[in-house]
Amino acid sequence: MTKKVLKFGGTSVGSIDRIKHAAKIIKREYDKKNKIIVVVSAMSGTTNNLIAHAESISKKFNKRELDVLLTSGEQVTSALMAGALTDLGIKSKSWMNWQIPIITEGDHSNSRIVNMNIKDIEKYLSKDGIAVIPGFQGVSKSGDITSIGRGGSDATAVAIAKIFNTDSCEIYTDVDGVYSSDPNKVPLAKKIEKISYEEMLELSSLGTKVMQASAVQTAMMHEIPLHVKSTFTNRKGTEIINQENIDYKKVVTGVAYSKDDAKITLIGVEDKPGVAADIFEPLSKNDINVDMVIQNISADGKKTDLTFTIKRQDKNNAASLLESNNKIKYETLQMNDKVSKISIVGAGMVATPGVTYKMFRTLAEDKINILAISTSEIKISVIIDEQLTIQAVKKLHKTFNLD
């Protein structure tokens, strides 16, 4: 007998027919005598519709009330899923976040799960029941409903797998696994059978939308086996596991891209100790995440040009904070929001020389100019002109033998 978490994303429960289909998948696992905890997202499109309702009320809709509003989508799906399982003759019950409870810490819309009460659900599982739990949400220690960010149902599923000490966590989605690149844009992209936590974490943070990055990080920290599967096919899917259990035949595992970045350059910054901290401190205090940073020092050592990237949605706020910052002096501020980030990821890069050169030469041959660079042991990211995104991804995909 195995204890499993089965998580179904928004497209997997996007209609009544799809909820009924997902319920049959759950029944198959239940018929194998497994103990099942189901985590569900809101039906596809629901969260965006709820956000639109909030924005029609106010452009500065109260964050507490927004969490109350947005978490209703998963609660609806929970009830429908429990009803569908009951209709199949299976004992099933939905639990709302406050009924368990799922305890969270942090700000509204960006909380994190810290604990949950397992007693009642464990008792229900022992009596051959299936527990259905809404993803994406919890309740604060003060009793407020909270949400844990877009894609947060993944984080809920992994947290439940950890706290309930399950044998596995299966993520059901509309694709049949993790691909070497976006199969919708790169037709020759292929499914990866096994990928390390580290690689999946990089791909998730770089724009791959299969899993939420924080969920992968939690799974990696606690060595929780993850399996990404399709709700709509019976193919094997992708296992996300420890790095030492993977045979690296390819140096690069995947090519990711994102089109939600903006590049800011401060020209002629007065170069003195602490200037970088003075530039980035107000951004940090306003929850603006800085990604790539490049600094060029002038020949006389008195001035520097500083380039960094942020999310495109933060560009105006960032520019305003920089322009009103009395602690720094610079000549001009340049901003480019028509850029994209292209990344190659692979744990095999650590022991393989020449990968950086190969990537840069490939882009140069296609006359694609690199505007910024960031590297880690298993990742190389560059900022390029947004119009050249798919061209660059396809070229790199071919260069590193991923087709």
The alpha carbon dihedral of 147, 153, 155, 156 has a sign of positive
Q: What is the mean pLDDT of residues 58-62?
A: 93
pLDDT, tens only, 207-231: 677 788 888 988 999 899 899 999 9
Distances (CA, A) of 394 to 188, 195, 391: 9, 21, 5
* CA dist 190 → 39, 167, 202, 206, 341 (Å): 28, 28, 18, 18, 21
Beta bridge partners of 146: 138
Residue range 127-139, pLDDT digits in tens: 999 999 999 999 9
Mean pLDDT, range 316-336, rounded to an integer: 93
β-bridge pairing 293-297 and 254-270: unpaired
Is 251 in contact with 244 (CB distance < 8 Å)?
no
Kindly report, residue by residue over 15-25, the tens digit of the pLDDT: 999 999 999 99
Question: In this structure, are residues 256 and 178 in contact, taking their beta carbons and an 8 Å threshold?
Answer: no
Q: β-pairing, 137-140 with 145-147?
A: antiparallel
> Which helix H or strand E contains 350, and what residues bound it?
none
Distance CA 55, CA 44 (A): 19
Predicted local confidence at residue 48, as pLDDT = 93
Cross-strand partners of 137:
147
Q: Please tell me what DSSP assigns to residue 43.
A: P
More confident residue, 333 or 107: 333
For the CA atoms of the chain, what is the radius of gyration? Answer: 23
pLDDT number for residue 359: 96
Listed residue (6, 5, 2) closest to 231, CA to CA: 6
- Token digits for 352? 């393989």
Distance between first and last Cα of the chain: 40
18 or 251: which leads in pLDDT? 18
Helix ranges, 129-228 (H): 152-163, 197-205, 213-222
Which of the 8 DSSP states describes residue 178?
E
Taking residues 272-289, report their average pLDDT. Answer: 91
Domain ranges across the chain:
3-174
11: number of Cβ within 10 Å? 18
Do residues 116 and 156 lie in contact, with contact meaning Cβ atoms separated by under 8 Å?
no
Cis peptide leading into 187, omega within 30 of 0? no
Least confident segment among 76-85, 142-151, 298-307, 360-369: 298-307
**Could you give the CA distance from residue 36 to residue 27 in angstroms, rounded to a whole number?**
9
Alpha-carbon span 402 to 400, nearest angstrom: 6
Architecture of domain 3-174: 3-Layer(aba) Sandwich (3.40)
Amino acid code (one letter) for 260: D
Percent of the chain residues topping a pLDDT of 90: 69
pLDDT tens digits, 285-322: 998 999 888 887 766 667 888 999 999 999 999 999 99
Phi-psi bin for 267: left (phi > 0), alpha (psi -120 to 50), beta? Answer: beta
